Structure 1
Amino acid sequence: MMKMSRKVEILEQVQETMEEVKPVKKQNVMTVEDLPGVGPATAEKLKESGFDTLLSLAVASPGELVEAGGLTEATARKVIKAARDTMNMGFESGEEVFEKRKNIMKITTCAKGLDALFGGGIESGAITECYGEFGCLTPDARITLADGRVVPIGNIAGNKSAGTYPINIDVLTREKDSIIKVKATNLFIYDCNHVLKVILNDGRQLSVTPNHPLMTDRGWIEAKDLTVDDNLVIVNDYEFSKEEVKLSGITPSKNVRVKVDLPKKLNPRLSKILGYLVGEGWKETNPHLTDTGNVYRLSYASKTKVLLDDWKTNVKEVFGLESNYRRTDKTSTETWAIDSVMVGEFMRQFNNLYELAPKKRVPQQVFESPKDVVTEFLAALYDSEGHALLDLTVREREHTRVSSNGQLLIYKYKLPNYGRDIGLKSSSLGLLQDVQILLTKLGIKSWINHFTSKKTSKLTGKNFVEHKLHITQEESINKFYDEVGNKTLRVRDGIKKVLNSYKRHVNSPFNYNKIKEIILMENPFGKVYDIEVPETHSFIANGILSHNSGKSSIAHQLAVSTQLPREQGGAEGMVVWLDTESTFRPERIKQICEGRGLDVSTTLKNIKVARCFNSDHQMLLAEKVEDLIKEGNNIKLVIVDSLMSHFRADFSGRGQLADRQQKLNKHMHALQKLGTSYNVAIYVTNQVMSKPDTFFGDPTAAIGGHIVGHNSTYRVYLRKGKKGTRVAKMIDAPHLPDTEAIFQVTEKGIEDV
């Protein structure tokens, strides 16, 4: 039986060879059933497996038809050959190809520079791949969560291997001048052997990949291009209220001669007036004023002209009133006042403001205010009652002790004072304790001591106990300057002198820290991490703002622009989104539509979204797109975001690399076939990995190797640019130069800079 079977197989192969040599007589073959060797039952099996057109059979392999239709290999080859002959799949002239390419569509990105990079837009019938730098952090980088906790990003990842993992974590980030709560949806883990450790003067440090950009006083700079002359922007993510405190108004009586438009909220200027009054202010009353209250004057006194001018400016801005000059005493201290019953009674709502000096406190409304309101209050208070002490004089000192034989020993030596102190004096201990709480919220350490004043009380005629709040540590003095001191007018120069005595330069604006050292080092963890925040593409790590790339941003824009009319750069078609990382956000589609005046409901209905859960599911859904087209859906764009996420997770280690690449190759050919057969644009996003053997140039490469590289018609590399922009660089294209385009992501989507 074995010999007979072998004989039949040999005869079939000989017959097949003879048929290939003989000229084939052309037949009028129109359907799968008309092909030689394909009966109704076999045709049904082939159609169920997706081989329902002559093209699908012509580009199939014999093994695929054997598995799908139960054919012998010889019959499968005969079917493939007949399909190819029928379709006349031979050579064609360049002119014919040129004519066919006139049917190619170009889908706009809505940014002219980016469209020019792609030769007019994203091309149909081709695969366009965009991949971005990972710009990641080592696992010890601490992420600020929305509930105030600060956790290492490595703790979020656990013991996971390189890949992409869905997460659902609320984090804090900065958008413009606000800190907001946003949701992180994906965790990315990459293998990486080398990182840069960036060390700041205040001791803060962050280890990042060389291409990770950090915000400096000269804009976004990649870590590898930073120098010790750069100052990094630090985001203070301390929890303060986001809204100004609403204030109570008063109803003026008929006897009030000048009505004042009172502020409805505690704003920074009003907070500064409060700081001046708590420091060197007082009220004056009139017992005859009973219908509206008896406070008719608020006075402020100072020797410093710049403070008096600032007082007058803020009073004018807040209340629309001119301050009135009252007097100048023998110490050259001038007094200026607000003469208004309405203002006097309005300010009564600030607790303890009208108490005598020993009982003054920080008003409760300040504790409930945004940080800028808090720091303006502190700046005015320190300008009124604070000082900056610097005493580096050398004094002779002596130390005495009695020796074992009873002899008195005297040791004399010289020692600098090293007196550096940012101080605030008050006869109210409660006031200083309140200020200390606010300083603690700003990360500033302080301490309080007590002493008997040399002055005498005007009430008792006796010396009284005074209290003093000290900021003496170098780090805390530096923080105080950054948060409060640079807003002061009288003590600012003194604080600068104190800081300069530490041989540092304090010429940076608010929230800058100078780089002390940058070290290239081996990554002791072997991996780097990143999280994706779809809403803002940013999060805070060690106080530094970190951004994601713009791959998904372009995808959302294309999902909208594909539906535009042809004359506007669209394709007047529908979109399929294969979502492997849970990156599709209908909220973002809605935002783009509203920004461009498009109908949100219609646009969302024309986007078919499928969540892929593994690589097999991803491949199956890609094949199902053809069914959607055959059902009459006018699909013109297929988005795969991202291409390699599941392939990396399903095939880990070098032992499974060959299997992964073989499967990936099949997936890429299915996408290419889909694009070519139905003139559909294919847009895929990809991840990157570190190349440890690269010592010059970009140490990253797209994942997927040659399989992805050779099957992608256009390959574009995305990175962050200056001032929040993005840079796209053409890496590979059949006929386009390797140029760059700069664009930005706005509420309207992708736009030119």
Structure 2
Amino acid sequence: MSEIEDNISLHSTEMLKIMKDPVKWAKHHLSDPPRWYQEQILRHPHNRKVLRCGRRIGKCIEENQRILLADGRYETVKNLYDQRESFKVVSLGEKPKNVFTEVFEIEDNGMKPVYKVSTRRGNEIKLTENHPLLTVDGWVEVQDLNVGEFVATPKNLRVFGSNDQRSNNFVKLLAYLSTSCKASANILTIEIKNDEVLSDISRICGEEGLELIQKSQKLFYLIDRSKSNEVIQLFRESGGRIPSEVYQYTQLKLSIFLAAIYDSQGWSFAGETPEIGYGGRNKDFLLDLSHLLLRFGIKASMVNRIANKAPYIQMMIYKCSDIVTFYNEIAPEAIRNYKDVYLVAISKEDRPLLIPRGQYLENEVARKNIKLRKSSAKTIQEDKLLFLGEKYNSDILKEIAQSDIYYDQIVSIEPLGKKQTYDVFVPETQNLVVEDFYVHNTWTMIAHILWVAFTCNGGKNPNGSVCVVATPYDNQARLIFDELVKNIESNEILAQSIKSKTKNPYFIAFKNGSVIKLFTAGTKSGSEGGSLRGQRADWLYMDKTLSLHTVTYVDNLVNSVKPGKEIVKWFILRNTNLQTEFSTQILLITLYKL
């Protein structure tokens, strides 16, 4: 045999190995190679076995990034990992609207290269390069994002705690200290610019057994002779950030806290462009403040300035509807009078929110044959989009316009080197709010589906493989479809293998006879997967959260699908009601071979 024939033979052997091995195939054809825990899933023999693989299947975020919990807590992912307790988080649901959903597991992902994404409003998030953020065209990994693109952040985070134990004086003093006090080892110095605030602080200090001694015109020493005052202890422990207990305050207590913050260092201006502002040099504190304002649906923007030859940040509330919300929900607890700026705000036409015109939106506009006046514009006004949705009876346009999403523009993406990271797995919605961004991940299932379809199940189905994906919600089906298309279009060989694809219904046909179909299972509405009945499937992928009492439903659903050679069910079993070897929730991937 000649050298050329030997090379051809070796090449053919290697290609055959790649086609039969989903891990090697994914490394060869997809932009991201599978990690070790994904390799375990992709290479599992699939012979009616249960594989526990709860490790590292979710979100990879830097350890100090904070997650908003349903009870109001705002905890770092590291703290949540250490606590090892069950909890619910804020997530983007079906419409898309914010919902509460349960976190399944958090796992240590080790030291990984981390990037900081910053937006025009001043928000920041730190995560790995392969971690997706939501855009108007779906989930895009950080490594594929560019400065100038828009990512999804919450319009509001209407989440309040139940902590109503603190007195109003306690909450006010904590706010005054948080925004105006500097602490050394033994001395607290507080700056008071407003006479009414000075009077209020003096009154509270007298009632709390504290002494206020004037140092200069605006500076005062705050003396705690007992050295045990709880407010001062909380302030010292906060490290320049808003104390952690504040996030669990009730709506009223949080209003009192924010009102005192703005009384101390804020301002309002009732000019041609009305504004409510706050200024400071501590970016971390301002990020905390921005988050708390979102609890009331108020979107503030950070503006970098120079004051006394040093960087200074102004946090501005410009939108008239946000000023009205501040007046109605926070100002009633304030010393400062906001009536003038409120009257100007209600007399002005509000600034419309803008939504980027991505391909998903444009496809719906084209489908409905809608003619837009400014066809070259990169954004469209939210109210105009809602009008068009109602006029042309488009649920898609109406949902985009009425969603809980605010699209913020990226201003920088910076590498931070290797940092400790953690994975957060949210099975039902596959996303959660981290540092006021929506984050997501669905890689493993995507890789396996494409391998089965492209290779005809590793060559086992010469006439093509039928892959059926069942999800509880249409938006999940769309997200998985978009991720499939993204991976296909990013690889020339995969792109050339496609015969056709449609988004209504979700359908991808390969030239080799394989097809991928996506359905909503209807489990939430009680339809019991009727849309799947009669479908033939070689592989059934279930992207779903299930409890053990719904296992019967799963079996019925599998039986409703005409069996091919193999069916794979990806889902979560919650075994809290059964006596099994597992005492907590675990991630199970049940694989059936028929």
Please report the TM-score for the alignment, with normalisation by the length of structure 2.
Answer: 0.33
Tell me which structure has the larger Cα radius of gyration.
Answer: 1
Please report the TM-score for the alignment, with normalisation by the length of structure 1.
Answer: 0.27
